[in-house]
Amino acid sequence: MASWLQLSDDVGLKVELERPPARVVSLVPSWTQTLFALGAGEMVVGATRFCVEPPQALAAVPKVGGTKNPSLREIAKLKPDLVIANAEENRREDIERLRGQAIPVFTTYPRTVPGAVESILRIGRAIDREPQAAALAREITLSVSGIEAGLGVWSKLRLRVFCPVWKKPWMTFNGDTYAHDVLRMMGFNNVYAAAGERYPRTTIEEAIEHRPDIVLLPDEPYEFDQCDVEEIKAMLPPALGRRVLLVSGRDLHWYGVHMVEGLRALNERLSRLRAAVI
């Protein structure tokens, strides 16, 4: 039987679909939300327990475990025409096992804002929602252009930022990550951009040596809260301790439809912080 579509996913693997997908399992919370935004919610027959948007629509969707430990048996029982995964959020061995069972898997791997837009377009093609994906891509591109145009002098006078994503041990991200590119697009320099590992371990003492101007604490993947703010403030020089801000981890890390409002919201928060530094 001739295939309906052949395309390459974000990691260069071929995905072959015999027909437009009618049953999709999503292993990525931000892409689950995006599937519904693209008008493909009726296709979603399975998702992870971390897939929480849109909440009412997902209430009746079977859960197949977590992002790092999905039940491959439950996924197979759902007989999906397509599984949507992510090279960072999901384990390579799980993706390979699904593919080994002849279950098509589209693996995303955006490491820049434009890369995330390209992923939307590829997913739109894979689920037969190209016009909707193109419209969403245009909306995100316009939003990003507005943010960049509003930077003014901050496009050159960039503040240095330390942004941990985990604690015990402290971990952050280098320049080969989507979160780095989000901050770059908003006029900030990630002090760990040149780190050899994508998610290097560090210490607060080492971070201080990188001379950040501000510290951002996102509530995903580690759920930093006000107690963490007070704890880290006590470890920082007084001036830097006054420039510690909690931010939404979704605004920083989520791809897809969340980018439309999430990037704007994050930029507004960071703009206020930047103004206070002057």
Task: Calculate the alpha carbon distances from 28 to 38, 49, 275 in Å.
Answer: 15, 10, 35
Mean pLDDT of 254-278: 92
Q: Are 163 and 278 in contact (CB under 8 A)?
A: no
Residue type, 34: T
Across the chain, mean pLDDT equals: 96
Q: Greater confidence, 273 or 114?
A: 114
Q: What percent of the chain has pLDDT over 70?
A: 99
Same fold, 5-110 and 150-277: yes
Q: Are 269 and 261 in contact (CB under 8 A)?
A: no
What is the pTM assigned to this prediction? 0.94
Give me the residue spans of the domains in the chain: 5-110, 150-277
Mean pLDDT of 81-89: 97
pLDDT of residue 263: 98
pLDDT tens-digit map of 122-181: 999 999 999 999 999 999 999 999 999 999 888 888 999 999 999 999 999 999 999 999
Pick one of 3.40.190.10, 3.40.50.1980, 3.40.50.720, 3.30.930.10 as the CATH number of 150-277: 3.40.50.1980
Tokens 């579509």 belong to residue: 5
- What distance in Å separates the CA atoms of residue 63 and residue 58, rounded to the nearest whole number? 9
pLDDT tens-digit map of 35-58: 999 999 999 999 999 999 999 999
Which segment, 103-107, 157-161, 271-275, is predicted with the most confidence on average?
A: 103-107
Q: Are 212 and 190 in contact (CB under 8 A)?
A: no
Task: Calculate the alpha carbon distances from 172 to 91, 102, 237 in Å.
Answer: 20, 36, 20
| Cα of 112 vs its chain's centroid, Å | 10
pLDDT of residue 100: 96
Q: Are 44 and 67 in contact (CB under 8 A)?
A: no
Per DSSP, 196 falls in state S
Q: Are 23 and 45 in contact (CB under 8 A)?
A: yes
The set of residues, in sequence order, having a beta carbon less than 8 Å from that of 32 and lying 6+ positions away, is 26, 44, 47, 48, 51, 53, 58
Tokens of 34: 């995006």
CATH number for the domain formed by residue range(s) 5-110: 3.40.50.1980
Per DSSP, 164 falls in state -
pLDDT of residue 275: 81
Tokens of 215: 């510290």
Three-state secondary structure call for residue 275: helix
The set of residues, in sequence order, having a beta carbon less than 8 Å from that of 173 and lying 6+ positions away, is 163, 165, 179, 180, 190, 192, 198, 199, 200
The pLDDT of residue 2 is above 70: no
Q: What is the largest CA-CA distance in the chain?
A: 68
Side-by-side strand order, sheet with 244-247: 188-190, 159-162, 214-218, 244-247
Angle 272-183-236 from CA coordinates, rounded to 5°? 70
